[in-house]
Amino acid sequence: MFVPLNKLPPALLVLGALVLPALRAAAPATQLDPLTVASPRVANQAPGGTFAMPVSVLRYEPRVDLQARNLVEGQADLTLRGGTFESTGWALGAVSLGDPQTGHYLAELPVDPAMLTPPQLLFGADLALGPLNATAGGLRQDWRPLRAGGGVRVGAGAHGLRRAELRHAWVRPAGNSGQGSGIEFSLARSVADGAILHGDHEFDRVNVRLQHRGPAGQTDLFAGYQGKRFGWTNLYTPFNSPEFENLQTRLTLLSHRQGRGAEGGWEAAVFERRHKDDYAFNRFAPLGPVHPFQHTTWLRGGAARVHGRWAGLDYELKGEAQADRLRSTALLFGPYTSRATTRLALLVGRETALAGGGALQARAGLVHDDSNREPGSLSPLLALERTFASGNPLQRLHLSATRATQLPTYTALASSASAGLFRGNPRLGRAAATTVEAGAAFRVAGWDASAAAFTRADRRLVDWTFRRGVTARSASPMDVDVAGFEAQARRSWGRAAVVLGYTALTKDDSYRVAGVDASFYALNYARHRATLAVQAQLGRDWVLSLDHAWRRQAPNLLRTIGGERALHGTLGLAYRPAVQPRLEVSLLIENLWDDRFQEIPAVPASPRQPSFSAAWRW
């Protein structure tokens, strides 16, 4: 008999969507296999406050700064290399997924992360072939091959948390022809009273995926829905109001990728995404027939990418087109409510073997971004990479110079410029960023390490700003020069693994409007940020997982609690008996040190959150 997820007893315990391969009886704890985990750079793969979402694992990624409201899974701004939530992109296979209303909903992907490969960070020349409308950096994930089996996870925690997940896949093995197929479904639900007053949540997700695999290709048809209802004081404004959001996201996607061996390969995809946002500044205020902040966006698109060799040159070609549409009760002041965007990117390169081992690769290309609402833009790029012979401690050197552009979202473009809580600017145009980067990769004394230094010149970047005496935030164009350094290192021993990360940033800013007193986003960044991930096998049946992120933030007069330094940690302890490897029982403590630092100025931090879990896999 099927039991609805919302009827499961709250006393049952839950674990997130995936488990580390270290928890398998037959594998050592130190092998964070990227084929089986959400990220090989993070120790705790799933959150403690709800079920896992694609954004969950990014909270401790060394080169990602995730700024959360309520839970990370409630609403979190994804920033890369000192950019803003608007200047980052997300690609799922060939296509770019985002939200034309606001970058706050970039991470609203109604997909079980167990269906996706680990996130790959894209910068420089790789970003040109990645997501649309991104200037600071991007992420890309692909669809995992189906594996037969599944599992159930149910659980509870502090603050009235109850959650449950169910996933199963049926797979028809490949026959003599090498063709195989399967179907996978996933259900998830989470409810809680909230770690602070009016901080409750109720999340649901339903996924179905069909997959067909051939000897060198894979086709996926996906349909997913996610509903999120959650509250938080000061969710988006600093006026101590009990705010609330009701988000409903629907995604349908068809993709295919095909390899051709040494001849290269290609991939193509089409999708439709609908996102509905009903926001309440005061959740207890009486509402009339028209909610004051209700928005629905539709985004449809397709993309194709091909790579191969021709006339002795390596080439990569990608074309993408999208069309969006907005329906809103508040965003009524913009020049338009629909838009079409296109991108065509071409990179050509040549690799030359060097005497003594290693190779030198040079790539050059052009990217053309266009829209029916704004003039197009042509961006050049150049990238050089030098690899070294096996056994050399220096593995790789790279240098790149690139340019990228983006168009503003509707909240910035179509909000009233003179009234309301969020004040827009209908004259905002295309923003551009020029980035120069140099980096290296090493292997020394058992450590795998990489480092990069970069500068980025953002022009006409859209920020949300505050002015004394004005009870609103305004969309303000700015020019800002960013300089940064980032490094990460990893090492595994027999029963332990460690991943270290560090980033440093400086900014030189100049707003194109007068009267700006503080910045909510562009100048809300960590001057120094360090991450630590540790995983250790304790005896035969226990695994300890520890993640930490320390930061020293740039000063911001909007931040009311927490100062400029913060230490956020997550502790996980999992028991998986060797005599019953399908069973797992876990304890997870989020915000281990109960740090009250406001990741977004004026937004209260989520307090310590302990939870217990139990999982059964088949």
C-alpha dihedral (215, 220, 221, 223), degrees to nearest 10: 150
pLDDT surpassing 70 at residue 501: yes
| pLDDT at residue number 484 | 98
Based on the number of CB atoms within 10 Å of its own CB, is 491 exposed (0-12), middle (13-18) or buried (19 or more)?
Answer: middle
**Residues contacting 147, CB < 8 A, separation 6+:** 169, 171
Q: Which 3 state secondary structure label does DSSP give 6?
A: helix
| pLDDT at residue number 177 | 75
Q: Are 188 and 112 in contact (CB under 8 A)?
A: yes
Alpha helices in 88-234 (DSSP H): 125-128
User: What's the whole-number mean pLDDT along residues 397-425?
Assistant: 96
Cα separations in angstroms, 183 against 147, 172, 188: 10, 9, 17
Backbone phi, psi, residue 262, to 5°: -65, -15
CA pair distance 523, 83, nearest whole angstrom: 9
Q: How confident is the model at residue 34 (pLDDT cuts 50, 70, 90)?
A: very low
pLDDT surpassing 80 at residue 27: no
| pLDDT at residue number 238 | 86
Q: Are 132 and 167 in contact (CB under 8 A)?
A: no
Q: How confident is the model at residue 16 (pLDDT cuts 50, 70, 90)?
A: very low
pLDDT surpassing 90 at residue 153: yes
pLDDT tens per residue, range 503-556: 999 999 999 888 888 899 999 999 999 999 999 999 899 999 999 999 999 999
DSSP 324-388: EEEEESS---SS-SEEEEEEEEEEEEEEEE-TTS-EEEEEEEEEEEEESSS--EEEEEEEEEEE-
User: What's the whole-number mean pLDDT along residues 33-48?
Assistant: 76
Q: What's the CA angle centered on 321, arms 316 and 323, to 5 degrees?
A: 160
pLDDT surpassing 60 at residue 308: yes
**Residues contacting 143, CB < 8 A, separation 6+:** 93, 115, 116, 117, 209, 211, 218, 220, 222, 255
Any idea what DSSP says for residue 5?
G
Question: Which amino acid belongs to residue 484?
Answer: G
Cα separations in angstroms, 29 against 40, 252, 266, 434, 578: 12, 37, 36, 42, 13
Among the residue ranges 10-14, 208-212, 354-358, the one predicted with the least confidence is 10-14
User: What's the whole-number mean pLDDT along residues 206-230?
Assistant: 96
Alpha helices in 121-177 (DSSP H): 125-128
| pLDDT at residue number 470 | 79
CA pair distance 403, 368, nearest whole angstrom: 11
| pLDDT at residue number 173 | 82
Q: How confident is the model at residue 410 (pLDDT cuts 50, 70, 90)?
A: very high
| pLDDT at residue number 15 | 25
Q: How confident is the model at residue 263 (pLDDT cuts 50, 70, 90)?
A: confident
| pLDDT at residue number 1 | 32
Question: Which amino acid belongs to residue 592?
Answer: L
When divided into structural domains, the chain yields a total of 1
User: What's the whole-number mean pLDDT along residues 156-184?
Assistant: 92
Task: Quote the percentage of the chain above a pLDDT of 90.
Answer: 83
User: What's the whole-number mean pLDDT along residues 411-418?
Assistant: 96
Which structural domain, as residue segments, surrounds residue 193? 5-617
Q: How confident is the model at residue 560 (pLDDT cuts 50, 70, 90)?
A: confident
pLDDT surpassing 90 at residue 396: yes
Any idea what DSSP says for residue 521?
S
C-alpha dihedral (281, 282, 286, 292), degrees to nearest 10: 0
Q: How confident is the model at residue 406 (pLDDT cuts 50, 70, 90)?
A: very high
| pLDDT at residue number 582 | 93
The token pair at 290 is 């028209």
| pLDDT at residue number 554 | 95
Q: Which 3 state secondary structure label does DSSP give 298?
A: strand
Cα separations in angstroms, 129 against 86, 96, 311, 372, 390: 18, 10, 22, 21, 29
pLDDT tens per residue, range 159-168: 999 999 999 9
Mean pLDDT for the chain overall: 91
Q: Are 231 and 199 in contact (CB under 8 A)?
A: yes
Instruction: Please give the residue that has the higher pLDDT: either 399 or 7.
Output: 399
First-to-last alpha carbon distance for the chain, in angstroms, is 18
CATH number, domain with residue 118: 2.40.170.20
pLDDT surpassing 80 at residue 437: yes
CA pair distance 23, 31, nearest whole angstrom: 10
pLDDT surpassing 50 at residue 32: no
| pLDDT at residue number 291 | 80
pLDDT surpassing 70 at residue 66: yes
| pLDDT at residue number 25 | 31
